[in-house]
Chain A
Amino acid sequence: MPPVLRAPFVVEFPFTRSLGPVQSAFLTGLRERTVLGVRTVDGRVLVPPVEYDPVTADEIRDLVEVGATGTVTTWAWNEDPRPRQPLATPFAWVLVRLDGADTSLLHVLDAPGPDAVRTGMRVRARWAAERTGAITDIACFEPYEGEPAGPARPHSGRFPEPVTGIVAPARLDYTCTPGRAQSRHLAALEGRRTVGERCPSCRKVYVPPRGACPTCGVATEEQVEVGPRGTVTTFCIVNIKAKGLDIEVPYVYAHIALDGAGLALHGRIGGIPYDEVRMGLRVEPVWREGSRHPDHYRPSGEPDADYDTYKELL
């Protein structure tokens, strides 16, 4: 069993999301230091606002302005803030019922410690210095001793240059490990050998192996060295240059059945004009120093393979 391989893997995406009329008014309002809610069919004021009544599912558009001050309805002290959370120092997660609202908003409270926080305490929004129309325009809440604001007042929801969309960046960090079958395969590649695994039931040799025969649903354990030479079973001509890929177009991308393998893997074909690549062409891998995988495959100089020898591997 080779040692467990590990590789960092980052999934990062800036989700661009469009806002409906209610969310647009709410987030634009935050940019203007104005907190808006929406009135439900039964007269309750929801903050943050939604577009459909949670009880009746009716469309609701009746916007109102509530206070930027409110009351903590529940809280949780966070001693160890995580990297992307709003405050880097210990803080309280809070649900805050803003003055004039009937529901609570989730946010964070800047307080010296858990003893300074209690349900029922009065708080007010601390606005971010730079505001873009996002929930983080409220930097956090802070303790506040003043009088409550009055009831919710009607608001048109209209602002100059309304925010109509947000970009929500998200990043998750993973440490990937390939599992037993792929680890064995990757370890062999280090010695420039391609190793597949044979299904004990149907005898097919899988390369690269994933640890299971998808036909029989059983573990593949028996190691089988395949190649290094193989046969082009099918191919396509790529005419579009991929971003960050240093390969001149057009080039050929092919399915290659390595000798002894029960299915074809894929690779680039080089060392031959793109329009001379054909089914049945015999190829061999070309390794580049320091790379775990063959860079490409080139003609081996052998006569073409007979169609019958690879027709099951198409």
Chain B
Amino acid sequence: MTGPAGRGTTSRAHGRDIAVVAFAQTRHTRRTDDMSEVEMLMPVLHQVLSQTGLRTGDVGFTCSGSSDYLAGRAFSFTMALDGVGAWPPISESHVEMDGAWALYEAWVKLLTGESDTALVYAYGKSSPGELRDVLTRQLDPYYTAPLWPDSVALAALQAQALIDAGEADEPELAGVAARSRRDAAANPHAQLQGEVPRGRHLVRPLRVSDCPPIGDGAAAVVLAAGDRARELCERPAWIRGMDHRIEAHGLGVRDLTRSPSTRLAAEHAGLFERPVDTAELHAPFTSQELVLRRSLDLDARVRVNPSGGALAANPVMAAGLIRIGEAASRIHSGESDRALAHATSGPCLQHNLVAVLEGEAHAG
């Protein structure tokens, strides 16, 4: 048995091993007009709990990620709480962010030893509003938001910076899109699958195929500590390290062709201690995958986004959590032994989270 014990990992430094033991997600679609948020979310919660045999009352800590700006309603996450059975009272928290950061909070909670299991979920319905306009409201309100630069425009500036630096060209961007959508053909949850035409320029240099689909969806993960994880899952995906770092808000202060926050988070999560075989990168735009690959030194031996990634389905606020779930699933199934999961938030990869997941070596 050559398990990871004694290898000196980031989470071991905190004295406890935590693993992703279950993952579920919706079949992401462009619209879910016939469902409320909780109606969309609830089947996913039931699925993820049934994978472990846990009931809501058994879960030590619950944490969710979502955004009021998508729902157009204050405290919208309280409605979704109906889906977890929050009475009698549960230990619960919420982040107004992607669920990957809710998972980070749950991981910290489990590291403290205050609970042994956690349910993490995230959801986003982009269909009620105009997502490109909605996302402008996360920008600095003095210098940037009054110009209403939308998410595609900002990503296009980053793509052009990459092209100007000689680090990408349009065919290379198209290659990322084609590979993602091809891989998504094997992912029943993906919104876009198979061949997708490159389409016209949405904001030049980005074409339709360089941009993520807009859609509605939800995801949920169960975390567990130590032996509890082994009870709940045949091959837990141990979180060996996790970290998140942020860069200056001003786009003109940053080198958009690099992602130093991703690099730093990866170093602190222990990514470079040993090679990974799989990487689930939260890169909604083709150009961002190239920035991330270079910042993480991922070479051709690493399988990037076998799920199709955010280019195949990008339910806002859930897409980052899905990257962790997809990476963990490949460890659960034995397709991966050491995987990287990444989530991003803010314009042009401003804020980045990196998790390193490992499966124990198979016995015999």
Contacts and interface: CB of A to CB of B under 8 A. Distances in A.
A and B: real partners?
yes
B141 A168 contact: yes
Contacts of B72: 9, 11, 172, 174, 176
Contacts of B251: 95, 104, 106
Given A79-B204, A217-B83, A174 B128 contact: yes
A34 to B, nearest CB: 16
Interface string B145-184: 1111110011011111100100000000000000000000
B312 to A, nearest CB: 23
Interface in A33-53: 46-48, 50
Nearest to A211: B39
Contact of B130 (A46, A75, A172): A172
Given A84-B148, A85-B147, A103-B253, A210 B129 contact: no
A78 B82 contact: no
Interface string A30-74: 000000000000000011101000100000000000000000011
Contacts of B130: 172-173
A82 B253 contact: no
A56 B14 CA distance: 29
Nearest to A206: B82
A238 to B, nearest CB: 22
Given A76-B159, A210-B79, A168 B147 contact: no
Interface string A1-19: 1001010010100010101
Interface stretch (A177-185, A228-236, A264-272): A177-185
Contact of B36 (A48, A135, A180): A180
Interface residues of B, number: 59
B33 A177 contact: yes
A88 interface: no
B252 A105 contact: yes
A78 B203 contact: yes
Contacts of A198: none
Nearest to A214: B82
Nearest to A217: B85
B146 A93 contact: no
A180 B39 contact: yes
Interface string A104-143: 1111100000100001000000000000001110000000
A48 B250 contact: yes
Nearest to B153: A93
A213 interface: yes
A104 B252 contact: yes
A123 to B, nearest CB: 14
A248 B156 CA distance: 56
B253 A212 contact: no
B146 A135 contact: yes
B137 A119 contact: no
A211 B146 contact: no
Taking residues whose C-beta sits less than 8 angstroms from the other chain, chain A's interface range is: 35 or more
A247 interface: no
Contacts of B201: 77, 79
Contacts of A168: 141-142, 145-146
Contact of B45 (A48, A181, A217): A217
A175 interface: yes
B144 A106 contact: yes
A28 interface: no
Contacts of A103: 250, 252-253
Contacts of A106: 143-144, 147, 149, 157, 251-252
A78 B72 CA distance: 27
Nearest to B148: A84
Contacts of A178: 36
A215 interface: yes
B38 A135 contact: no
Contacts of A27: 142
A107 B143 CA distance: 9
B310 to A, nearest CB: 20
Interface string B122-139: 000000111011100100
Contact of A212 (B82, B137, B161, B204): B82
Contacts of B204: 76-79, 114
B290 to A, nearest CB: 15
Contacts of B39: 179-181, 211-212, 219
20 contacts: A6-B33, A46-B253, A76-B159, A76-B206, A77-B203, A82-B148, A93-B154, A95-B252, A119-B160, A135-B144, A135-B146, A136-B146, A136-B147, A173-B130, A173-B133, A177-B34, A178-B36, A211-B38, A214-B87, A217-B42
Given A78-B204, A179-B39, A217-B86, 7 more contacts: A74-B161, A74-B164, A77-B201, A77-B204, A166-B142, A181-B39, A211-B38
Interface of B: 33-39, 42, 45-46, 56, 69, 72, 79, 81-88, 128-130, 132-134, 137, 141-150, 153-154, 156-161, 164, 201, 203-206, 248, 250-253, 256
Interface of A: 1, 4, 6, 9, 11, 15, 17, 19, 23, 27, 46-48, 50, 54, 73-79, 82, 84-86, 93, 95, 97, 103-108, 114, 119, 134-136, 166, 168, 170, 172-183, 210-219
